[in-house]
Amino acid sequence: MAPIHKVALAGASGSVAQALIPELLASGFDLTALVRPNSTSTLPASIPSIPVDYTDTAALTTALTGFDALISTVGSPAIHLQTYLIDACIAAGVRRFIPSEFGCDTENPRARALPVYGPKVQVAEYLEERTKCTQTTYTYIFNNAFLDWGIERKLLIDLHAKKMQLFDGGDRPWTATPLDFVAKGVVGVLKREEETRNRAVRLHGAKVTQRQLLEVARRVVGSEGWTVEEKGSEEMEKEAYENLRTEPGNVMGWVMGFLCRAIYGEGFGGDFEGENDNQLLGLKSLGEAEVEEVVRRCV
């Protein structure tokens, strides 16, 4: 069988996709974006696009015919629409579907049970059932927390306001992975089709603790004037459940609590150091100096 070459990308305007596009092109893949008919996002001129309704399986099947792989990086509001993408991949004979995971390890039972991952779990269950005895295979890509993206959006640490919230003492190791590292991991998956068939791969960018990240940030932006608050991730989880019960429409009122629990909480699988696929995919984890370089880029 010829290697994967012709690749479609859904959700091309998002942060993961923006890191993926140059890496895929540099690696020689023939890349096409699937875009919604009313999309206003701007893509590089070198990338052709196909306008298509994500809820129209017949149109998606036509659009995907002849492609070897589809990578989905759709955002949270569109996670459920991936069932249409899955059906279209099967109908069109697409060999590999990579769903929009790119986060915490949803194969960990404790993380999987958190409501924030419900839509992803439903898609995964649908994907595994529907692709049985078909040509279409899948790979889940987990990278725990995005290092650069999380810093830039003040989710891991606020460099400008010099604020940080430490969970469970801040000394528990967890995996932090830059977007460009994730992009290289995706390329590795596409180039190692058989080894990554119908399974999850774990990308381990860097092993850090919150206190280590805080020390790096202090070196980068200065050690004075920091506000550091300590809180338990279990407490965050309880608050998230209460907020979900009382104000389900206030998504930010409960999503972050569950994410913090999955990233930092003991037993939630947030440290990939002992179980990852870096070697298989040709990746090398980052050291402290490289983590500091990422932090400096985020200032």
Q: State mean pLDDT over 235-242.
A: 97
Q: State mean pLDDT over 276-297.
A: 98
Distance CA 8, CA 223 (A): 46
**What is the reported pLDDT for 41?**
77
Over residues 5-39, the pLDDT tens digits come to 999 999 998 999 999 999 999 999 999 999 988 87
Q: Quick one: 213 and 264 in the same domain?
A: yes
% pLDDT > 70, the chain: 100
Let me know if residue 292 belongs to a domain.
yes
Q: Quick one: 209 and 75 in the same domain?
A: no
Q: Quick one: 265 and 171 in the same domain?
A: yes
Let me know if residue 1 belongs to a domain.
no
Give, in order, the Cα–Cα distances in Å from 153 to each of 39, 162, 181: 24, 13, 18
**What is the reported pLDDT for 58?**
97
Residues 6 or more apart whose Cβ sits within 8 Å of residue 50: 8, 32, 33, 34, 35, 63
Q: Quick one: 103 and 220 in the same domain?
A: no
**What is the reported pLDDT for 242?**
97
**What is the reported pLDDT for 124?**
98
Q: Quick one: 100 and 153 in the same domain?
A: no
- What are the structure tokens assigned to 253, written together? 């009122």
Distance CA 124, CA 283 (A): 26
Distance CA 22, CA 19 (A): 6
Query: Is residue 46 pLDDT above 90, yes or no?
Result: no
Over residues 85-108, the pLDDT tens digits come to 999 999 999 999 999 999 999 999
Q: Quick one: 125 and 135 in the same domain?
A: yes
Question: What total number of domains does the chain contain?
Answer: 2
Q: State mean pLDDT over 192-221.
A: 98
Containing domain of residue 154, as a range? 145-176+205-270+285-297
Q: Quick one: 133 and 163 in the same domain?
A: no
Q: Phi/psi at 22 (nearest 5 deg)?
A: -65, -35
DSSP H helices in 34-167: 57-64, 82-92, 109-112, 118-130, 147-152
**What is the reported pLDDT for 239?**
97
Let me know if residue 275 belongs to a domain.
no
Let me know if residue 266 belongs to a domain.
yes
**What is the reported pLDDT for 212?**
98
Question: What average pLDDT does the structure give for the chain?
Answer: 96
Let me know if residue 195 belongs to a domain.
yes
Distance CA 223, CA 128 (A): 49
Helix (H, G, I), strand (E, B) or coil at 181: helix
Q: Quick one: 119 and 158 in the same domain?
A: no
CATH code, 260? 3.90.25
Give, in order, the Cα–Cα distances in Å from 189 to each of 8, 127, 143, 205, 226: 15, 18, 13, 16, 41
**What is the reported pLDDT for 155?**
96
**What is the reported pLDDT for 1?**
83
- Tokens 């609590």 locate to 257
Over residues 105-121, the pLDDT tens digits come to 999 999 999 999 999 99
Q: Quick one: 159 and 188 in the same domain?
A: no
Q: Quick one: 75 and 149 in the same domain?
A: no
Strand partners, 138: 97
Distance CA 175, CA 181 (A): 12
Let me know if residue 138 belongs to a domain.
yes
Q: Quick one: 222 and 134 in the same domain?
A: no
CATH code, 193? 3.40.50.720
Q: Quick one: 238 and 106 in the same domain?
A: no
